[in-house]
Structure 1
Amino acid sequence: MSAAGPLFDFWLQHAPVLSVVLPLLTAVVLLLIGDAGGMAAQGGAHDDAPLAWRRFISLVSALMGLVTAIGMVLHATAGELLVYRLGEWPAPFGIVMVVDRLSALMVLLTYLVALPVLWYAAAGWDGRGRYFHAIFQFQLMGLAGAFLTGDLFNLFVFFEVLLIASYVLLVHGQGRERFRMGVHYVVLNLVASGLFLIGLSLVYAATGTLNMADVGQRLALLQGDTLLFARSAAFVLLVVFGLKAAMLPLYFWLPGAYAAASAPVAALFAIMTKVGVYSIVRVHWQLFGAEAAGAALTVADWLLPLALATSMLGVLGALAAHSLARLVAYLTVSSVGTILAGVGLFTPAALSAALYYTLHSTIVIAGLFLLVELMAAQRGEMRDRLQPAHAMREPVLLGVMMLFGAASAAGLPPLPGFLGKLMVLGASSGLAAQVWVWSVVLVVGFLTLVGLARAGVILFWHVQPVAGAQGSGSSRWMLAPVWAFMALTLGLAALASPVKRYTDAAAAQLAAPADYVRAVLGSTAQPSMRPYDGQRATPSQEKQP
């Protein structure tokens, strides 16, 4: 028993399943309350009391989720894995949820984004469609489950939960463009789900299991046709996760979908692409990593070039964007490319840099999507289109916010974007791909700054005086989440050293899957699993006893 007492021990022991059950129960309660008072945008008479209750319950639940995520991160910091076996069925036969440093970090990032976004939505967006808060909680359930599950099939299940919720959130508030992009989004993700099942079938055919720990140790024993099945599965899963992460050539759905979504939904979707990134890391570092013998680093020759191309094409799309929302959406694509470049170098130092940059990019992109709407609301009919319009009512306040967001996204010192890119550059030093990584990262940072500077000049300098056209200023309620994201960005820079130590430890933990396997499988783990030596392995390396 810990010094905090038995209640704390009980809560921490059940934290993995609570992270999934809490938003699920919250969604059920919200559905039972009903939706009286919804659809405020239609202008009908309604009672605000149920909507106020839904806002309160949803915000309290998200706050509880954030506290739980902080507890899991604090537990994971010590290096001990927390394994939760549902129904007490032993792995690999039962369902397991696993908290390691990476999964705990991603759940914390989810709630750091979700809570300010939910606060922003409560300013009025949640009343423009039905059951917003319930669907939002289902989305959180899917995100937490995807990050915490220790089973590939349940990863698929939680993917479907969060995707179904995202379908509804995407069209929240209605509108022709949202429905059009929603159809594209649904069709593409249904195709990806079909490919996901094919990939899982290939993994099961090769290993006879879908438990991640069990798959990881069995891959090292494969030969002949079963090895071919496993390598084929690695490529199929890369396609699936690449589509969900918006990696080249599968990124084309994201700019239109994110630009069409309402501001709080687009901000929440900043974490959606990271589910694809997380899955690539989990599968291709932990399962098909250096310990997988003939299946080791199957996609290594493909991932880095695709990542660098994604980053470059994303920033070129941002330069060509005709609206600020689409520009930020393309920057989302570009940031995914930078993250995956660190992942694709397949060294612990590069993975640690990618994880740090993931925290930065997700927070900054979410804040920018909210800021876009605040500026669009003061530009009349032009909204966020990059064309001259009348001056905003709060040009200084919004201009400072825009300047801060642009500096963060472009990676100017001393903000965390600069630190993250510097870590990626440092991790690539001495590797064969150093020239390509340095060239792309530096050019992308410069072009990002150019694109955002161009947008800032149009929004704040190319103004047309129109008598009586200015609207009201931004409410404090809606400004608070943007300030929160700015504070998180500054905090990430101020706490760069401890955060970097955490991401270093998370990368080292992923590179040493033996601890994960032993924690999940216990006595059934293969004793031949050896610790990672800290150097990049190649598929041709022979396993040492």
Structure 2
Amino acid sequence: MSEHLAILPILIPLFGGLFMLLPPFAGPQKYQYRRVATLVLMLLQIGCSVLLMLQVINQGATFYAVGNWQPPFGIVLFADRLALLLVLLNGILGLGATLYAFAGSDREGKYFHPLLQFQLMGINGAFLTGDLFNLFVFFEVLLIASYALLVHGGGKQKTLANVHYVILNLIGSSLFLFALGTLYGTTGTLNIADMSLRIAQLSAGELVIAKAGGLLLLIVFGLKAAMLPLHFWLPRTYAAAPAAVAALFAIMTKVGIYGIFRVYTVIFGEQAGELAGMVQPWIWPLAFLTITIGAIGALASPNLRHLAANLVIISVGTLLVAFALRTPEATAAGLFYLVHSTLVTGALFLIADMLGQQRGKALDWFVMARKVSQPALLGILFFVAAMTVAGLPPFSGFIGKLVILQSAHSAAEMLWIWPIILIAGLVSIVALSRAGTTLFWRYSGEGDNTQKLSRWQISGAILLLLGSPLMVIFGASVTDYTQAAATQLHGLQGLFEVMNLQGGSK
């Protein structure tokens, strides 16, 4: 059974989602059955991810050849420390979103739970796949599920945001196919490991075409990650999405970031000859500008959902800075920050929805409204989330930013990186302080004491927020793991040995 573990994070949500479309789970009155099934599926996915992670820690990275078609010819799943860290993160985030939806929002559409499973399957597949074409396939799976989840419950704002979101992603998918065709035409393969061996052997004419394909991929991944200037879809989309869906969407941008780390370290890394580091001149300015536009957006946010969405954009820019440094130390720092930022921004979307439920028609907008009826509980949750996302000690955000700052060694790197990250942190503090004082201290009249939060909602938010103190308590173990994952990503020889691709072309 252990040899099939690598495919289970894909098969579990795939078959689980399909079964929930059939009796006895189908039907408007069967939501309790779907809830039990979803909870079991989420626990199975997390358990499978932990077992697979322990296997990789003890035995090293592994690959799974579907149908026993060996690389570079067959469909290959590659499970290393990086992929499994993100698969586990996806499971935890999905569990938090699921628990929150159990409060009743999952009943607004009978296909919520199957769609949630299909999206988890697409995200897991994107992290685990070993070739670019199947990365495209899993991108499409998670995007199709997200199109339906975004309009879950209906509403004009959701529909409008979904139209923009769908159109942009259809354009991105078209560019993805053009990029794949270009790279396959020059290298003769789409297996990531095999392509990394062939890329340096191309002729001068083929190098130009391959470079064009590589830059097209950067556009695609930049769109998925919400990198400037392809970020404008994110605030409106995430703010319009149902709270549980928006929390799960917090990892969607990280799929694009993962694509950048994987493709431009393995395929276009140091061994790529003339194409080595070809995106560096683009990543540096785009990273700084993404942080800047996210900080400006945070200050201008009219409500807490938009603020959380702009904080996601800041996190994307910070992760791009870690990638641009191109060292295992910086990659390890970026992975630590990626886990922290995904969990806390997911929690912020849930907190924004809970505040909106208790403020009446004003929702989470930064205007005067009735008093929150559970200020102590929501105040504590908001305070912890704000301290964490702003990067203040003793929470994980402080450690995440600190290790990224420490990974900048040269004077030029420190001159550029330290001010932009520290100023963005200061702007986040100002924006969150404004949000907190408005939402909790500016009110007229008393709150509606009958509007109490569900235990499911509270448990979902707390689950995601617990990631911050746990990452601090077990900081040494987490940083050791991320360092090993970064070393594994940058040490390509181990990848070739796992897939038996010594010597390049076959």
Correspondences of 1:197-346 after superposition (within 5 Å): 197-346=177-326
Classify the secondary structure of the residue corresponding to 2:77: strand
- SS for the counterpart of 1:84 is strand
Q: Describe the superposition over 1:487-517 as per-residue Cα deviations: whole angstroms up to 9, x where unpaired.
A: 1211011111111111111111111111112
Among 24, 28, 31, the residue aligned to 2:14: 24
TM-score (norm 2): 0.98
Q: CA deviation at 1:431?
A: 5.3
Structure 2 residue aligned with 1:492: 471
**What corresponds to 1:536 in structure 2?**
none
Pairwise CA distance, 1:78:
3.4
Q: Which moved more, 1:511-520 or 1:455-464?
A: 511-520
The CA deviation at 1:130 is 2.7
* 1: CA distance, partners of 2:59 / 2:157: 47
Q: SS at 1:168's partner residue?
A: helix
Structure 2 Cα separation of the partners of residues 77 and 35 of structure 1: 38
Larger mean Cα displacement after TM superposition, 486-495 or 95-104: 486-495
**Pairing 1:507-526 to 2, within 5 Å after superposition:** 507-520=486-499, 522=500, 524-526=501-503
CA contact (8 A) 1:27 1:134 kept: yes
Residue equivalent to 1:533? none
Deviations 1:430-467 (A, max 9, x none): 2532211101100000100100000001011111115x
Question: Counterpart amino acid of 2:302?
Answer: H
**SS state at 2:407 partner:** helix
Task: Please give the alpha-carbon distance, in whole angstroms, between the structure 1 residues aligned to 2:239 and 2:259.
Answer: 24
* Matched AA of 1:24: L
Whichever residue aligns with residue 54 of structure 2, its letter is L
Name the counterpart of 1:449: 429
2:343 to 350, 363, 373: 363
Secondary structure of 2:231's partner?
coil
Gaps of 5+ in 2: none
Give, as a single letter, the amino acid of the residue that structure 1 aligns with 2:228. Answer: L
> For the residues of structure 1 that align with 2:53 and 2:376, how far apart are their CA atoms?
38
1:406 equivalenced with 2:386 (yes/no): yes
Q: Secondary structure at the match of 1:97?
A: strand
User: Match of 1:353?
Assistant: 333
SS where residue 14 of structure 1 aligns?
helix
Q: Provide the C-alpha distance between the structure 1 equivalents of 2:75 and 2:290, rounded to a whole number of angstroms.
A: 35
8 Å CA contact 2:187–2:198 kept in 1: the answer is yes
The percent of aligned pairs where both chains have the same amino acid is 44
Matched letter for residue 165 of structure 1: A
- Could you tell me which residue of structure 2 aligns to residue 417 of structure 1? 397
Answer yes or no: is the 8 Å Cα contact 2:194–2:504 preserved in 1: no
TM-score by length of 1: 0.91
Counterpart for residue 476 of structure 1:
455
Task: Supply the AA of the counterpart residue of 1:166.
Answer: S
1:140-177 deviation per Cα after TM superposition (whole angstroms, max 9, x unaligned)? 11011100000100000000000000000000010000
Opposite residue 78 of structure 1, the aligned amino acid is N
Deviations 1:151-206 (A, max 9, x none): 10000000000000000000001000000000000000000000001111111122
SS at match of 1:123: coil
* Paired AA for residue 237 in structure 1: L
Q: Work out whether 1:160 is the aligned partner of 2:140.
A: yes
Corresponding residue of 2:35: 55
Q: CA–CA distance in 2 between the matches of 1:420 and 1:308? A: 17
- Aligned match of 1:124: 104
CA distance in 1, matches of 2:95, 2:292: 31
Give the equivalent residue in structure 2 for 1:502: 481
Q: Retained in 1: the 8 A contact 2:133–2:180?
A: yes
Give how far 1:59 is off.
1.0
CA distance in 2 between partners of 1:179 and 1:488 (Å): 33
**One-letter amino acid of the structure 2 residue matched with residue 499 of structure 1:** V
Please give the per-residue CA displacement for 1:308-362, whole angstroms capped at 9, x wherever unaligned.
Answer: 2101210210110111101101111111111111011111111110000000000
CA RMSD of aligned residues (A): 1.4
Q: For 1:355-375, what per-residue CA distance to the aligned partner results, in whole angstroms no more than 9, with x for missing partners?
A: 000000000011111111111
Q: Is the 8 A contact 2:27 2:110 kept in 1?
A: no
AA in 1 matched with 2:7: V
> 1:35, 1:130 within 8 Å by CA — same for their partners in 2?
no
1:213 Cα shift? 0.8
Q: Which moved more, 1:29-38 or 1:213-222?
A: 29-38
| Structure 1 contact 83–98 (Cα < 8 Å) conserved | yes
- Unpaired runs of 5+ residues, structure 1, are 1-9, 39-46, 529-545
- 1:391 partner SS: coil
The residue number in structure 1 matching 2:48 is 68
Question: After superposition, what is the alpha-carbon deviation per residue over 1:393-436, rounded to whole angstroms, capped at 9, x for unaligned?
Answer: 01111111111110000000121111010011000122532211
What's 1:170 paired with? Answer: 150
Question: Structure 2 CA distance, aligned partners of 1:353 and 1:164?
Answer: 32
Q: Is the 8 A contact 1:216 1:286 kept in 2?
A: yes
How far did residue 37 of structure 1 move? 5.1
Please say if residues 35 and 131 of structure 1, whose CA atoms lie closer than 8 Å, have aligned partners that are also in contact: no
Q: Report the residue type matching 2:5 in the other structure.
A: A
Aligned residue pairs, count = 505
